[in-house]
Amino acid sequence: MEYPPIIIVGMHRSGTSLLSRVLQKCGIFMGASRDPNNESFFFLELNDWLLAQTNATWDNPYNFRFIDDTFKETLIKAVKISISSFRILKFLGIRRFLKYRKLDNLPFLWGWKDPRNSITLNIWSEIFPQAKIIHIYRNPVDVAESLRKRVLKNKNNFRWNYKHTIKSMFAKGKLNFVDSVRLQFLEEGFKLWEEYLSSIYDFEKRSDKRILHLKYEEFLENPDSTIETILNYFNISVDKDRVKEAVALINTSRSYAFLSNKHLVKFYENIKEKPLVRKLGYHNLC
């Protein structure tokens, strides 16, 4: 039996890493080589490459919406070549690569997580038309604040060294002073949240493909029932001990953290009537 991929989508800092680790605990292969956010380096690099073709980036993906059908066909052709090459060794690992060679005939459950999938989903759905898509979303205030904190932490930890001097001499490479200039501001974090989620819902509407949508806060509050929903969606059964290990990964204290911060509550009051906020049921939290 051959399995199509499971593609995890969702805005950054919305629980995609948690979801992918839960799926791993349930026996789904998420890549041999992954970064600290549990993102397969192979697909991460491909998504970055796709965005770069339109001068878009993960924190400013706006340009990617303007690809036309001809451009789309070219990108699909390029990606198909890449995923049929030796480069998939990075995803499969040596043992699986030598055994299977391709991604279109894998006899086990597999997939990958990358928030950028939210933007490039129209490409991946053409390459893997039978893919199972799962979307996890989180309230926009906690998302924007989490992104802002990460940027500030990066700034505060920055220390000039000889590598920065060399990069400056040749005006090449990133200094990595911040990972996103844009996301230092809550308002921009919220706008990016809107961009990512709009891209997912627009794709679902245009393609008429079914996406399993999960609310991050409900996942934290009811992990057992949420995992059961996920397994039913994939039509798979998992040993109870594996499910217990998956549930143990979940920290319920991260639900609606912003409510204890007056500044963030004030920000929430300004955005709670936005269409997507209302659509997802986040408009009446306080």
Question: What pLDDT, on the 0 to 100 scale, is given for residue 240?
Answer: 78
pLDDT band at 249 (very low <50, low <70, confident <90, very high): confident
Full domain range(s) for residue 82: 6-279
Classify residue 284: in a domain, yes or no: no
The domain that holds 33 is classified in CATH as 3.40.50
Percent of the chain with pLDDT over 70: 100
Question: What pLDDT, on the 0 to 100 scale, is given for residue 248?
Answer: 83
- What mean pLDDT is predicted for residues 45-68? 97
Does residue 178 carry a pLDDT above 90?
Answer: no
Question: What pLDDT, on the 0 to 100 scale, is given for residue 163?
Answer: 86
- What mean pLDDT is predicted for residues 74-94? 96
Residue-wise pLDDT tens digits, 1-13:
789 999 999 999 9
Into how many domains does the chain fold? 1
Give the Cα separation of 73 and 55 in Å (integer). 18
Classify residue 92: in a domain, yes or no: yes
Classify residue 273: in a domain, yes or no: yes
Higher local confidence (pLDDT), 250 or 34? 34
pLDDT band at 239 (very low <50, low <70, confident <90, very high): confident
Question: What pLDDT, on the 0 to 100 scale, is given for residue 114?
Answer: 98
Instruction: Write a three-state SS string for the chain.
Output: CCCCCEEEECCCCCCHHHHHHHHHHCCCECCCCECCCCCEHHHHHHHHHHHHCCCCECCECHHHHHCCHHHHHHHHHHHHHHCCCHHHHHHHHHHHHHHHCCCCCCCCCEEEECCCHHHHHHHHHHHCCCCEEEEEECCHHHHHHHHHHHHHHHHHHCCCCHHHHHHHHHCCCCCCCCCCCHHHCHHHHHHHHHHHHHHHHHHHHHHCCCEEEEEHHHHHHCHHHHHHHHHHHHCCCCCHHHHHHHHCCCCHHHCCHHHHCHHHHHHHHHHCCCHHHHHCCCCCCC
Does residue 254 carry a pLDDT above 80?
Answer: no
Question: What pLDDT, on the 0 to 100 scale, is given for residue 195?
Answer: 98
Classify residue 1: in a domain, yes or no: no
pLDDT band at 15 (very low <50, low <70, confident <90, very high): very high
- What mean pLDDT is predicted for residues 143-169? 89
Residue-wise pLDDT tens digits, 141-154:
999 999 999 999 88
- What mean pLDDT is predicted for residues 269-279? 97
Candidate from 34-48, 68-82, 131-145, 230-244 with smallest mean pLDDT: 230-244
Does residue 279 carry a pLDDT above 90?
Answer: yes
Q: What integer best gives the mean pLDDT of the chain?
A: 93
Does residue 252 carry a pLDDT above 80?
Answer: no
Classify residue 285: in a domain, yes or no: no
Does residue 91 carry a pLDDT above 90?
Answer: yes
Classify residue 180: in a domain, yes or no: yes
Classify residue 216: in a domain, yes or no: yes
Classify residue 134: in a domain, yes or no: yes
- What mean pLDDT is predicted for residues 247-262? 86
